[in-house]
Amino acid sequence: MSEAENERCLEFIETWRARLTSISWFMRMLNQYIAAEANREDQCTGHFWEGRFKSQALLDEKALAAAMAYVDLNPIRADIADSPESSEYTSVKARIEALRNDQVNAEGLHVFAGYPRKDQPDGIPFRLLDYLELVEWTGRQVRDDKRGQIDAKLPPLLERLGIEPSLWLRTTSNIEAGNMVGTGNAIKAALPLLQRQRVSGIRLPDS
């Protein structure tokens, strides 16, 4: 390869490297592909997305909670799910499934760090229980501009999950006290795996 060819290759590499790290370029290519496929199906021409993608600054905890709940409730508002635990591809469903499987947190998601305080660990600055109740309450509100909401006849979320509220509050308040968290059966099963004889953990009620 000549020096000129090598320089040209390096230019191509630099161009593609910049594109692979550019969200604008990615969205433009994705837009073109989706628009072409949709227009072919609908036998029409024109832009598939009229507006460009945008981002918003979440300036405080209230804004963060509002944005999280908005995204987690999209399947319910679109009337393709009837509860948070049945909302596919949402973080709230992943968190609920983690609770059901005696996991402290869902894999790949930030933990809830509790109320803001001086020595607060990294994580979402409020409690998981508060967030679940926020999502549940918001999802039950009827909106004229949306088709779906959580059925008013559906039992409360903690009841549906088989969790007793006072025990749950005590558990989440003392989550750091033990070296394991789970139902009695789960803790008992984990003892031989962890080569432990004694239980030093937070017990959640067995379903």
**Helix boundaries (H) for the chain:** 3-20, 23-42, 61-72, 74-77, 91-100, 128-140, 157-160, 165-173, 184-193
Please say whether the beta carbons of 127 and 121 come within 8 A: no
Look at phi and psi of residue 147 and say left if phi exceeds 0, alpha if psi is from -120 to 50, else beta.
alpha
Q: Which H/E stretch holds residue 180? A: strand 180-183
pLDDT, residue 159, reads 76
From first to last of its 207 residues, the chain has per-residue pLDDT tens of 788 888 888 998 998 888 888 888 888 888 888 888 877 887 777 666 554 455 667 777 888 888 889 899 999 999 999 999 999 999 999 999 988 887 778 888 888 877 666 666 678 888 888 888 889 988 888 777 777 888 888 887 777 777 666 665 655 555 444 555 566 676 677 666 666 655 555 555 555
The reported pTM is 0.55
DSSP code for 206: P
Q: Domain map of the chain by residue range?
A: 3-42, 57-204
